[in-house]
Amino acid sequence: MVVRPGTQSRATEEVMIRLGLDRDLPWNLAADDARFIDALDATLDVIDWEVESWRNEGRPFPGDLERILAVGNSALRVSDSFFGLERRVDPTATAAFAEIVKASPQDAADHLASAWAKAMSANQDADGAYREAVLAVEAVACPLVAPASNRATLGTVIADLRNQASKWEVVFTDTSGQRAGIESLIGMLVLLWQGQSRHAGGPNSRRQTAEEAVAAVHLAATLVQWLSSGVLTRKP
């Protein structure tokens, strides 16, 4: 790197360092350059968009970039926080996810928000997104199912529910009009837990796929909402 401090603005220098640019300025990158999207993503992250000069001096604002991306049918959009680019998702699904996060216990909400950011970012972290999705569910499932344990995991929660299935019920009813069993809920928990590749170096160790990460985040959101709102309860 030959970026000399003071020769560019702080934000420009930081973007250049992140992208490994030595002389090429970020705004001079060609649109088909693999680093172009990374430059946009980094720029959104490093600039303080609340500084009044950005609003009052007619400078480009993230909303302007979002309009360009939308008109061009880009698969990416500017995040609502302006912190970077994220995958373009149906607005209804995005709003529903945000409502679940808002209504969730703080620990679970933090993990869900992190999972969403990692799964939907322009530079997706599929492994991190899946891990945060599991942690979000554990944040509500462990205190509910194993409140006396300080070493509970989603795996032990599943085992406890299987061993104590007769002591739990869900709000759904079966064909007889009675409270349904918890087998389907356990199945959802198992799907999330067993789909995670957790142990590096093992024969089945692998990277999570992009599709798995997105699916895990949505499944985790449903499970967090259910477990924190009384869908699963101990029988009287």
- DSSP conformation class of 29: S
How buried is residue 185: exposed, middle or buried, by Cβ count under 10 Å (0-12/13-18/19+)?
A: buried
Specify the amino acid at residue 33: D
154 in Cβ contact with 193 (< 8 Å): yes
Domain segments of the chain: what residues?
Answer: 10-87, 91-234
Model pTM? 0.74
- DSSP conformation class of 121: B
pLDDT, one tens digit per residue, over 162-180 is 999 999 999 998 888 888 8
Report the alpha-carbon distance of residue 213 to residue 23 in Å, rounded: 36
Going from the C-alpha of 103 to that of each of 112, 120, 140, 234, the distances in angstroms are 11, 21, 12, 22
How big is the chain by its Cα radius of gyration, in Å?
Answer: 22
179 forms beta bridges with 173
Confidence of residue 3 (pLDDT cuts 50, 70, 90): very low
- DSSP conformation class of 33: S
Which range has the worst mean pLDDT, 130-134, 145-149, 218-222?
145-149
Which range has the worst mean pLDDT, 45-54, 77-86, 206-215?
45-54
26 in Cβ contact with 43 (< 8 Å): yes
168 forms beta bridges with 234
Of 92, 53, 47, give the one whose Cα is nearest residue 65.
Answer: 47
> What pLDDT score does 4 carry?
45
Q: What is the mean pLDDT of the segment spanning 98-108?
A: 94
Of 112, 68, 72, give the one whose Cα is nearest residue 94.
Answer: 112
> What pLDDT score does 129 carry?
96
Report the alpha-carbon distance of residue 143 to residue 68 in Å, rounded: 46
